[in-house]
Amino acid sequence: MHDFAADPDGFRDDDIARAEEEAERILAWTDRAQAELQELTGTGESPSGQVTAVVAASGRVVEVSLKPRAVRLDSRTLSEEVLAAVASAGHDVTRRVEELIRQGLPGFDPGQAVARVERVMNMQWR
């Protein structure tokens, strides 16, 4: 990945050419991975193990399952268990998406990319 300085005068023609090639590679991978990303889910369980949840890569909750003993919980505890299971499933699907990205785009780190974008967005331009 490139780590260009924020100063546009620092860009060279070969930097731009490499960035274009990299962008083309990423777009090609994105086209191939789209179907896989749509099918990707994460699974999570509540602390008690009484509730499980499945979350899609889009963040949509696909399924929530309760074990028979879960229905004996008071409403507040049950809601906390459901939220914990959904949060755990969300973390799992995020991890799976990042793993898929790392496999498809070697050398690309989603966390670093987000940090770079945030750094650029927070820059003060002259």
Q: Are 45 and 29 in contact (CB under 8 A)?
A: no
pLDDT given at position 70: 95
Give the pLDDT band of residue 103 (cuts 50, 70, 90): confident
Report d(CA 83, CA 42) in Å as an integer: 14
Q: How far is CA 12 from the centre of its chain?
A: 32
Q: What are phi and psi of 4, to 5 degrees?
A: -70, 150
pLDDT given at position 1: 47
pLDDT given at position 55: 98
Q: Which of 5-9, 25-29, 43-47, 99-103 has the highest mean pLDDT?
A: 43-47
Structure tokens at 68: 């028979």
Report pLDDT digits (tens) over 72-86: 999 999 999 999 999
Report d(CA 115, CA 98) in Å as an integer: 14
pLDDT beyond 80 at 96: yes
Query: If we measure between CA atoms, which residue out of 84, 43, 88, 49 comes closest to residue 67?
Result: 49
Q: Are 18 and 2 in contact (CB under 8 A)?
A: yes
Say yes or no: domain 8-121 is CATH 3.30.479.10: no
For residues 97-106, average pLDDT: 86
Domain limits of the chain?
A: 8-121
121 membership: H or E segment, kind and range? helix 110-121
Report pLDDT digits (tens) over 22-79: 888 888 888 888 888 889 999 999 999 999 999 999 999 999 999 999 999 999 999 9
